[in-house]
Amino acid sequence: MRRTSFANWPCSVARTMDLLGDWWTPLVLREAFYGIRRFDEFQQGLGIARNTLSDRLRRLVDEGLLEKRAYQADPVRYDYLLTEKGRDFFGVIAAMTRWGDRWLADEAGPPITLHHDRCGQDTDAEVVCAACGEPLTAEDTDMRMGPGYPAKLAKRPDVVQRFAR
Amino acid sequence: MRRTSFANWPCSVARTMDLLGDWWTPLVLREAFYGIRRFDEFQQGLGIARNTLSDRLRRLVDEGLLEKRAYQADPVRYDYLLTEKGRDFFGVIAAMTRWGDRWLADEAGPPITLHHDRCGQDTDAEVVCAACGEPLTAEDTDMRMGPGYPAKLAKRPDVVQRFAR
């Protein structure tokens, strides 16, 4: 099934989604955040078909979120390690976890607890404004044309109207 | 194409993904955060096939992220409005935007600027610990079994090993 490509949309959400490709990819990253590094462990943890896993790992390596490192020479075997770009995706996973914990958990409560080693407390992710530190909500936030918005689109009536709301 | 269902996994990331279904769904939500409410405006903004859009809107209504409200009686026409559950997803979109701005923008810079009306500054989303307010990073955070982790899985050797890392 061919997907629409979102890679060239002037929207970081669309670009991020295009890179991820499908829902397995964030789950492969989730495994990496648990400390999983080897193909067989990813495979066991996710119950994913080997060819699907190969494909998603290759994509994450190509896009620079994981790097392959040989840990054995003969036969050669690889670890998959998070890069800085990959580690930085943790915020997205943490924000998604918080939303799912809040809205999708059953009466027993969230399946996983996040523990913040640095402060020693069980916690949740909170998404805040980098400038003032207050929670960032849809009501308080405007999306405006940024420096990278394509000039050829900026004057189209539907685009002008979108940003005028 | 049938997808694996992640809805019953003991993982809020997997459950959230299962609910979203595919990448169009977060983009429909993104439109709603721009203030889009009507079918034709969603359709124009996304360039999405009408049947695909109908399906994604129905899913978001069924899952309680949007609600339908008749704004015209004859013929009946509906607005799609964000519910509290839908508005709360803004944090996930904002975290994704931040990641995409940082890692996927070209030299011109991010396509969109977030402006925080409350503090009056252009800003970015930051994902922090709700307990101490410091940034939440993969290095500083442990995932532990939570109250809703299924008891029948908790003693399986691979699960024990996962949480022992």
CB contact under 8 A, B104 and A15: yes
Asked if residues A64 and A85 have their Cβ atoms less than 8 Å apart, the reply is: yes
Q: What ranges make up the beta strands (E) of B18-159?
A: 66-73, 76-82, 112-116, 121-123, 125-129, 141-145
How far apart are alpha carbons B115 and B117 in whole angstroms? 6
pLDDT, chain A, mean: 90
Residue in chain B nearest A156 by alpha carbon: B45
B50 to chain A, any CB pair closer than 8 A? The answer is no
pLDDT per position as a tens digit, A38-97: 999 999 889 899 999 999 999 999 999 999 999 999 999 999 999 999 999 999 999 999
pLDDT at B14: 87
ipTM for this prediction: 0.92
Asked if residues B111 and A10 have their Cβ atoms less than 8 Å apart, the reply is: yes
CATH number of A12-83: 1.10.10.10
Interface test mutation site (partner B, options A2, A4, A16, max chain B beta carbons within 10 A): A16
A151 to chain B, any CB pair closer than 8 A? The answer is no
Residues of chain A with CATH 1.10.10.10: 12-83
| CB contacts < 8 A (A, B) | 329
pLDDT at B91: 96
pLDDT per position as a tens digit, A109-125: 999 999 999 999 999 99
A70 - beta bridge partners? A78
Determine which of A113-117, B6-10, B158-162 has the lowest per-residue pLDDT on average. B6-10
Q: What ranges make up the beta strands (E) of A10-158?
A: 66-73, 76-82, 112-116, 121-123, 125-129, 141-145
Residue B21 has pLDDT above 80, yes or no: no
B111 to chain A, any CB pair closer than 8 A? The answer is yes
Determine which of A4-8, A41-45, B46-50 has the lowest per-residue pLDDT on average. A4-8
Token look-up 């896009």 returns A63
B135 - beta bridge partners? B128
Q: Which pLDDT band holds residue A165 (cuts at 50, 70, 90)? A: confident
pLDDT per position as a tens digit, B103-124: 998 888 999 999 999 999 999 9
How far apart are alpha carbons A117 and A73 in whole angstroms? 36
% of chain B residues with pLDDT over 90: 68
Asked if residues A63 and A80 have their Cβ atoms less than 8 Å apart, the reply is: no
Local structure of B101: helix, strand or coil: helix
Classify the C-alpha dihedral A48-A125-B87-B39 as positive or negative.
negative
pLDDT at B22: 79
pLDDT at B2: 44
pLDDT at B1: 39
pLDDT per position as a tens digit, B24-42: 899 999 999 999 999 999 9
Q: Which pLDDT band holds residue B4 (cuts at 50, 70, 90)? A: low
DSSP state of B3: P
How far apart are alpha carbons A36 and A31 in whole angstroms? 5
- In this structure, how many other beta carbons lie within 10 angstroms of the beta carbon of residue A85? 17
